[in-house]
Amino acid sequence: MWRWLDRLRNRERRPRQLIPDRLWQGALDRCPFLLHLGMAELAHLRELASLFLEEKEFHGAQGLVITDAMAVTIAAQACLPVLHLGPGTQPLRWYDDFVGIVVHPDEVLARREVVDEVGIVHEYDEPLAGEVMPGGPVMLSWRDVTASSSETGYNVVIHEFVHKLDLRDGTADGCPPLCAGFMGHTSARAARAHWLATLEACYQEFRETVIRAERFGAEPTWLDPYGAEAVDEFFAVASEAYFVNRARFAREFPTLLPLLDAFFRPARQAAPLSAGARL
């Protein structure tokens, strides 16, 4: 019985219908960085995005009407980070903890509270271009979706869906679940230690660069300075730039490039990374 259930869960899924040519071409026109993919990769991305659209529910907020073109544009970018994370449609398992995608016309002001070191509560409004929570929906600002730029390395869709990958183990720490064998490490624990050490070193260097730019007038960073907020934000900001302008990212972050390549584009002979991997 259990073997039968395992076969059922692992059965290859197929979308009922591929995204129509007109809508798919429109998404490629709006996201020119996708054209750096090979023909087979684009075909695979189209299949994943088609199934993604069948599984997820889009909701427009504040009167925003979600068109087919908007949904396809978001789906294509959302599926890009998981494109190589397993054969067939298995990559979509990384996104099986949520269904809803809420799209606002513009940024959303979120009320925040922080308690300082002496116990005083401070309240403030934080503008959000997007947000995710473990097991919860994805929120996006449509204005920011359309502001994606290879020139600046900005892409809010990739940013938020990379947060979803990071949160697969329930912790927003900039490290998605890794399996034994990642970059040659014999255990998941060793792989995680290597990832965090590499990411933290790059994060601290980037943070210092942002501080010099903001406080002392040094040259601004190419990467969005929001990445200096925390190491998990650095992972998401770095990942969006990695996907929309890999050549510039490689020049800016040569020590981080192999790490992201190993995760987002694992060697074909390596065992597929499991969304349910345990550390």
pLDDT score of 16 = 84
The pLDDT assigned to 25 comes to 98
Provide the pLDDT for residue 221: 95
Rounded to 5°, the CA angle 251-255-259 comes to 110
pLDDT of residue 278: 32
The pTM assigned to this predicted structure is 0.88
Residue 279: the pLDDT is: 30
Q: Mean pLDDT of residues grouped by 10 in the chain (279 residues)?
A: 44 81 97 96 98 97 97 98 94 96 86 61 67 92 95 96 96 95 95 98 97 94 96 98 97 97 76 40
Residue-range domains of the chain with CATH: 2-264 (1.10.472.150)
